[in-house]
């Protein structure tokens, strides 16, 4: 059997974690099985459609680096891949169902259906009362020919059960009487409902496996009946475990970011997001946390999906982000962080010049291990690009020292700046240790006033790297300003 799967979003909202998880699992399954992954736009709900959501869909998957083999933008043998461009197809198949006695015309007005709904409120009976189900086909055809407004409904076989085997959940059996009675397939304006378009397209596009969120499980018995009514073999269904917040409720805005746009703005890397999302309800290799997309594609198995809901853990995702930040080269990380630095005003509102860019890139090793998210980067290295405010004298003074001693230590440290500026970090460290020993002072006591003078703070990224990037002249200037302040205190 040729493996073919699809991601079939309705462009009625931004792409979020749940949708991306569905798309990713479909992608991985296709890749693991040498099959095809297609994108189909289910834009039948024109009232909630927004072109912006289509753009968001493309942007999101481009950013994530998750391509499809067939789709509206790349084409393919089963197009068009946009449902609004396929309306005649659905109308034709709906007519076929009527001709075969598996569907029927319904002439009930919206008012009648509303009155029915109200009358049944609170009772166990729900949905349509099947009034038009037993009209004679000849009468119904006459009324249609006379131009009477109508829909097409599915004729659900009564007194039967519908069963299918979900790849993950096992055998699912529904009494047909428990399924929404004879749902509309084709609306009075000729538009298909989700069920009609979805089933026809999955069949015509040769979809072998439907991997979708568990919220669609209640629709599946209906879909199976539709496949049978058309005389088609249903695909294999596999309903993916829910994604929950840590409180056990369905993941939503209340828990934090859910749209990929938000994660992107908050400085998550696409690799981190993909890696983490891939673990929401699936397992791969024992003892391995980090996976490339290539590895995930190799190891993905439907048999390794979990039945129980996946819990979305923002802390775990942050950990993944840290790991991927640490794996970036200086140049890569600088490029990713640059937009955040520009908008944070790191270069004083100017377009960064070559010198700025070089210093920015050189600063990456100083903070790579100290940030979880890209937007944290500019704040951590601000002091390299603009003069930090000189803190109060108290900030400079090491424990058990006083002001004159601090001035002495800073003056001593000043003497090593020229040498340190030309040294690699490890060399600098050995050098300054030896100097502290020789002078009979504690290393920490020698470093503290220097650190405060150069970075404006007692806590900062590595000092020797900072001196190297600042250069001897700027470092000495900062120390002199600090000494002047201390002298006047």
Any idea which residues carry the catalytic annotation?
253
Instruction: Give the separation between CA 460 and CA 453, rounded to whole angstroms.
Output: 11
> Which residue's entry shows tokens 């020229």?
418
Question: Based on CB atoms, which residue is closest to ligand GLU, 9 or 192?
Answer: 9
Q: How far is the CB of 151 from ligand GLU (least distance, A)?
A: 20
Nearer to ligand GLU, 201 or 445 (CB): 201
Q: Which is nearer to ligand GLU, 15 or 361 (CB)?
A: 15
For ligand GLU, give the closer residue by CB, 219 or 266: 219
Do 432 and 424 meet the contact criterion of CB atoms below 8 Å apart? no
Structure token pair of residue 277:
């999302």
Count the alpha carbons within 13 Å of 416 in the hemisphere toward its beta carbon: 23
Q: How far is the CB of 323 from ligand GLU (least distance, A)?
A: 31
At closest approach, how far in Å is the CB of 211 from ligand GLU? 8
Helices within 353-442 (DSSP H only): 354-367, 376-385, 393-396, 403-414, 417-421, 425-439
Q: Residue numbers of the site for ligand GLU (CB under 6 A)?
A: 8-10, 42, 198, 212, 216
Q: What token pair was written down for 17?
A: 């974690």
Q: Which of 259, 262, 263, 171 is nearest to 220 (CA)?
A: 171
> Do 396 and 486 meet the contact criterion of CB atoms below 8 Å apart?
yes
Minimum distance of ligand GLU from residue 244's CB (angstroms): 18
The DSSP result for 265-307, as a single string, is: HTT--HHHHHHHHHTTTB--STT-----HHHHHHH--GGGB-S
Nearer to ligand GLU, 150 or 212 (CB): 212
Provide the minimum distance between the beta carbon of 234 and ligand GLU in the complex, in angstroms, as a whole number: 12
Cα separation, 317 vs 268, whole angstroms: 9
Q: How far is the CB of 228 from ligand GLU (least distance, A)?
A: 18
Instruction: Count Cβ atoms below 10 Å from residue 117 Cβ, excluding itself.
Output: 12
C-alpha to C-alpha distance for 92 and 86, rounded to whole angstroms: 10
Between 9 and 181, name the residue whose CB sits nearer to ligand GLU. Answer: 9
What is the three-class DSSP state of 391? coil
In terms of Cα–Cα distance, which of 355, 354, 363 is closest to 334? 363
């Amino acid at each position: 059997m040729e493996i073919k799967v699809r991601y079939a979003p309705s462009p009625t909202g931004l792409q979020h974690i749940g949708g991306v998880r569905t798309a990713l699992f479909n992608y991985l399954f296709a890749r693991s099985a040498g099959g095809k992954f297609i994108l189909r736009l289910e834009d039948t709900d024109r009232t909630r459609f927004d072109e912006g959501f289509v753009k968001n869909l493309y942007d999101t998957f481009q950013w994530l680096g998750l391509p499809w083999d067939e789709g509206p933008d790349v084409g393919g043998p089963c197009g068009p891949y946009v449902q609004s461009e396929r309306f005649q197809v659905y109308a034709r198949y709906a007519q076929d169902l009527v001709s075969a006695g598996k569907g029927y015309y319904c002439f009930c007005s919206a008012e009648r259906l509303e009155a029915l709904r109200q009358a049944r409120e609170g009772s166990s009976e729900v949905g349509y009362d099947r009034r038009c189900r037993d009209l004679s086909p000849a009468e119904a055809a006459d009324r249609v020919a006379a131009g009477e407004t109508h829909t097409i409904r599915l004729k659900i076989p009564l007194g039967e059960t519908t069963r299918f085997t979900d790849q993950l959940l096992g055998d699912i059996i529904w009494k047909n009487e428990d399924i929404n009675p004879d749902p509309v397939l084709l609306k009075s304006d000729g538009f298909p409902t989700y069920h009609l378009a979805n089933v026809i397209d999955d069949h015509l596009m040769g979809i072998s496996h439907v991997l979708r969120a568990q919220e669609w499980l209640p629709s599946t018995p209906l879909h199976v009946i539709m496949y049978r009514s058309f005389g088609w073999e249903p695909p294999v269904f596999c309903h993916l475990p829910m994604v929950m917040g840590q409180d056990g409720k369905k993941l939503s805005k209340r828990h934090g970011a859910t749209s990929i746009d938000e994660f992107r703005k908050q400085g998550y890397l696409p690799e981190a997001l993909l890696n983490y999302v891939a673990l929401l309800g699936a397992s791969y290799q024992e003892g391995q946390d980090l996976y490339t997309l290539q590895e995930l594609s190799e190891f993905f198995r439907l048999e390794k999906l979990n039945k129980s809901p996946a819990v979305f853990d923002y802390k775990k995702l942050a950990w993944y982000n840290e790991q991927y930040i640490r794996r970036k080269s200086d140049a890569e990380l600088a490029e990713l962080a640059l937009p955040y630095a520009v908008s944070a005003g790191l270069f004083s509102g100017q377009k960064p010049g070559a010198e700025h860019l070089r210093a920015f890139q050189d600063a990456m090793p100083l903070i790579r291990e100290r940030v979880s998210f890209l937007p944290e980067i500019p704040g951590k290295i601000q002091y390299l690009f603009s003069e930090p405010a000189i803190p109060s004298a108290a900030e400079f003074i090491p424990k058990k020292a006083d002001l004159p001693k601090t001035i002495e230590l800073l003056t001593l440290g000043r003497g090593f700046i020229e040498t340190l500026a030309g040294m690699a970090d490890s060399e600098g460290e050995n050098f300054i240790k030896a100097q502290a020993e020789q002078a009979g002072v504690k290393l920490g006591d020698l470093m503290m006033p220097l650190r405060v003078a150069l970075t404006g703070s007692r806590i900062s990224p590595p000092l020797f790297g900072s001196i190297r990037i600042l250069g001897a002249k700027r470092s000495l200037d900062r120390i002199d300003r600090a000494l002047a302040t201390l002298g006047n205190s």
